[in-house]
């Protein structure tokens, strides 16, 4: 199968990423390997850990003091990886490499049981991708592809914020030019998503779901002409098909719309994925490794259609902070003071709405690993001196993505008419022509998405 994007310039070079379900076991890995074999332009392949492995490693890294439970998880890890090894035609030397890594997991898990810490967590969690790449490279070789395994930590330079490290694109480009590019002429390079290393050589990770971002960074660094994200659904849909089964795949979507989707929680893409792709104008394809023949979604700078309503995204675990002060009435300087305090405590704000005497904001969630962010105690103390502070959790953010929404008559009416039975909070509309978003109670979130989807897209 050949995925030719007519917008790309020659010479073609594709970076492909396969997520956890696409490398879950021998069957999934073989399907993914077949996609690579039939795509001669694919020279770099980044993969995730086998499905479920990162979760197991995170649990171990959090520190399990009970030896039986720890042993149970280690055994499960062994089963997943040996399940693939036993299907290989020649299992040596892969099995020795896997044994070494599994032993290392066991040692690190014992350390974490005594005293977990963020650096140790990244070291431990990185083993998922280190393991899966050994297996996947061997499967490719057994299919007749000249593949070589590469340690991405040799080029994926990040800062030292363990758990949510920030990649350094300039360093990555230089390192890739020196160490990765020369390999691409003759071989398919298989490497790890999600993990990196800081300037001291310590292993870091880019945050959960970060393999998409890794692949985009590598695509940028090697001047790829296409980035392919292979997952368990044939493209980006009008909403998460697990929530609304009638959701439909989108054939083509612009960078700006797709970025909004990723930012507002569509799990199909890590929120930062499109940043390098946009910088370098690399078209992105999303497809299903289970059904590659179904085609998928192309994300690129300009597209033929810019519909008023494109898709719906949902992001839960939102924390809303409402700050109220009568002193704000006709006064100046209040918001400046609020944001000074937030900045001092390194609190990143996501959405904001204001009224005459209050301001509501949601806290940025990017470094919580998906959980609800909290206001640090010291920040609450400082804010308390200025105003009343109310914190609410159990909320989800619903975002409707589209084009020219705020300048098209009747678009908001269509949304709010559909949702008259729900309590909507913190409505943000108009700052971007591409989105309308609001908070709802967690227990209403799925039905809000389903009803909106039905009324707007079905």
Side-chain half-sphere exposure of 56, counting CA atoms within 13 A: 24
Q: C-beta of 413: minimal distance to ligand ASP in Å? A: 39
Cβ density class 353-370: b for 16+ within 10 Å, e for less: beeebbbbbbbebeebee
242 binds ligand ADP (CB under 6 A): yes
Q: Helix, strand, coil: what percent of the chain each, to 5?
A: 40, 25, 35
Q: C-beta of 190: minimal distance to ligand ADP in Å? A: 16
- Spatial separation of the C-alpha atoms in residues 431 and 435, rounded to whole Å: 8
**242 touches, from ligand ASP, ligand ADP, Mg ion, none (C-beta below 5 to 8 Å by class):** ligand ADP
Cβ density class 375-409: b for 16+ within 10 Å, e for less: beeebeebbeebbebeeeeebbbbbbbbbebeeee
**49 touches, from ligand ADP, ligand ASP, Mg ion, none (C-beta below 5 to 8 Å by class):** ligand ASP
**Nearest Cα to 416, choosing from 397, 438, 401, 442?**
438
What track of x and - describes contact with ligand ADP for positions 281 through 320 (by CB under 6 A)?
A: ------------------------------x---------
- Spatial separation of the C-alpha atoms in residues 307 and 457, rounded to whole Å: 11
Pairing of strands 358-363, 309-324: antiparallel
What is the rounded end-to-end Cα distance, in angstroms, of the chain? Answer: 31
268 binds ligand ADP (CB under 6 A): yes
Q: C-beta of 48: minimal distance to ligand ADP in Å? A: 6
**Nearest Cα to 44, choosing from 75, 79, 17?**
17
- Spatial separation of the C-alpha atoms in residues 304 and 296, rounded to whole Å: 16
Q: Which residues bind ligand ASP (CB under 6 A)?
A: 19-20, 48-49, 54, 128, 193-194, 208-211
272 binds ligand ADP (CB under 6 A): no
**239 touches, from ligand ADP, ligand ASP, Mg ion, none (C-beta below 5 to 8 Å by class):** ligand ADP
Q: C-beta of 264: minimal distance to ligand ADP in Å? A: 10
Q: C-beta of 253: minimal distance to ligand ADP in Å? A: 10
What track of x and - describes contact with ligand ADP for positions 185 through 224 (by CB under 6 A)?
A: ------------------------x---------------
**193 touches, from ligand ADP, Mg ion, ligand ASP, none (C-beta below 5 to 8 Å by class):** ligand ASP
Q: Which residues bind Mg ion (CB under 5 A)?
A: 19, 209
- Of these, 37, 119, 251, 267, which contacts ligand ADP (CB under 6 A)? 267
> Which secondary-structure segment (H or E) carries 173?
helix 169-179
Q: Where are the alpha helices (DSSP H) in 345-404?
A: 377-384
- Spatial separation of the C-alpha atoms in residues 179 and 155, rounded to whole Å: 7
Nearer to ligand ASP, 20 or 167 (CB): 20
Q: C-beta of 212: minimal distance to Mg ion in Å? A: 6
* C-beta separation of 210 from 125 below 8 A: no
Question: What is the C-alpha radius of gyration for the chain, rounded to an integer number of angstroms?
Answer: 23
Q: C-beta of 223: minimal distance to Mg ion in Å? A: 24
Select the span of 56-64, 165-173, 262-270, 429-437 touching ligand ADP (CB under 6 A).
Answer: 262-270
- Of these, 3, 19, 84, 285, which contacts ligand ADP (CB under 6 A)? 19
Q: C-beta of 242: minimal distance to ligand ADP in Å? A: 4
* Number of residues counted as binding ligand ADP (CB under 6 A): 19
Q: C-beta of 134: minimal distance to ligand ASP in Å? A: 15
- Spatial separation of the C-alpha atoms in residues 326 and 12, rounded to whole Å: 61
> Which secondary-structure segment (H or E) carries 16?
strand 14-18
- Spatial separation of the C-alpha atoms in residues 116 and 439, rounded to whole Å: 35
Q: Which of residues 22-41 bind ligand ADP (CB under 6 A)?
A: 22
257 binds ligand ADP (CB under 6 A): no
Nearer to Mg ion, 209 or 234 (CB): 209
Nearer to Mg ion, 195 or 452 (CB): 195
- Spatial separation of the C-alpha atoms in residues 445 and 398, rounded to whole Å: 8
DSSP string, 296-342: EEEEES--S---SEEEEEEEEEEEEEEEE-GGGTT-SSHHHHHHHHH
168 binds ligand ADP (CB under 6 A): no
The interaxial angle of helices 53-61 and 118-125, nearest 10 deg, is 150
**228 touches, from ligand ADP, Mg ion, ligand ASP, none (C-beta below 5 to 8 Å by class):** none
CA 157 to chain centre: 18
- Of these, 192, 239, 360, 403, which contacts ligand ADP (CB under 6 A)? 239
53 binds ligand ADP (CB under 6 A): no
> Which spans of this chain sit near ligand ADP (rule: CB under 6 A)?
19-22, 48, 209, 231-233, 236-237, 239-242, 266-268, 311
């Amino acid at each position: 199968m050949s995925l030719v994007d007519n917008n790309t310039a020659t010479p073609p070079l594709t970076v492909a990423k396969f997520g956890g379900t696409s490398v879950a076991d021998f069957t999934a890995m073989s399907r993914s390997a077949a996609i690579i074999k039939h795509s001669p332009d694919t020279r770099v392949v980044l993969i995730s850990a086998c499905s479920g492995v990162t979760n197991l490693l995170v649990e171990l890294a959090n520190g399990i003091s009970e030896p039986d439970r720890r042993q149970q998880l280690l055994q499960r890890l062994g089963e997943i990886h040996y399940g693939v090894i036993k299907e290989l035609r020649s299992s040596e030397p892969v099995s020795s490499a896997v044994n070494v890594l599994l032993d290392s997991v066991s040692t690190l898990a014992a350390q974490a049981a005594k005293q977990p810490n963020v650096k140790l967590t990244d070291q431990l969690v990185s083993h998922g991708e280190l393991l899966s790449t050994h297996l996947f490279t061997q499967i490719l070789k057994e299919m007749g592809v000249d593949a070589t395994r590469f340690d991405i930590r040799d080029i994926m330079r990040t800062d030292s914020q363990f758990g949510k490290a920030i990649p350094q694109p300039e360093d990555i480009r230089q390192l890739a030019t020196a160490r990765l590019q020369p390999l691409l002429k003759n071989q398919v390079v298989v490497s790890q998503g999600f993990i990196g290393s800081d300037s001291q050589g310590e292993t870091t990770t880019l945050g959960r779901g970060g393999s998409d971002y890794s692949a985009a960074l590598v695509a940028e660094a090697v001047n790829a002409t296409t980035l392919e994200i292979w997952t368990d659904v044939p493209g980006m849909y009008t909403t998460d098909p697990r929530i609304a089964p009638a959701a439909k795949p989108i054939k083509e979507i612009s960078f700006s719309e797709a970025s909004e989707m990723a930012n507002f929680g569509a799990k199909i893409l890590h929120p930062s994925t499109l940043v390098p792709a946009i910088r370098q104008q690399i078209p992105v394809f999303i497809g299903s490794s289970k059904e590659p023949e179904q085609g998928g979604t192309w994300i690129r700078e300009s597209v033929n259609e810019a519909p008023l309503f494109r898709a719906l995204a949902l992001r839960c675990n939102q924390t809303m902070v409402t700050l109220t002060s009568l002193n704000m009435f006709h006064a100046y300087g209040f918001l400046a003071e609020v944001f000074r305090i937030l900045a001092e405590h390194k609190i990143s704000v996501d959405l904001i709405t204001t009224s005459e005497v209050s301001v509501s904001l949601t806290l940025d969630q990017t470094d919580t690993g998906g959980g609800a962010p909290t206001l640090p105690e010291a920040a609450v103390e400082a804010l308390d001196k200025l105003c009343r502070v109310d914190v609410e959790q159990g909320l989800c953010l619903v975002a409707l993505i589209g084009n020219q929404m705020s300048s098209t008559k009747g678009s908001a009416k269509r949304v709010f008419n559909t949702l008259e039975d729900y309590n909507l909070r913190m409505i943000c509309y108009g700052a971007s022509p591409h989105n309308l978003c609001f908070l709802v109670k967690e227990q209403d979130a799925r039905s809000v998405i389903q009803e909106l989807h039905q009324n707007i897209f079905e």
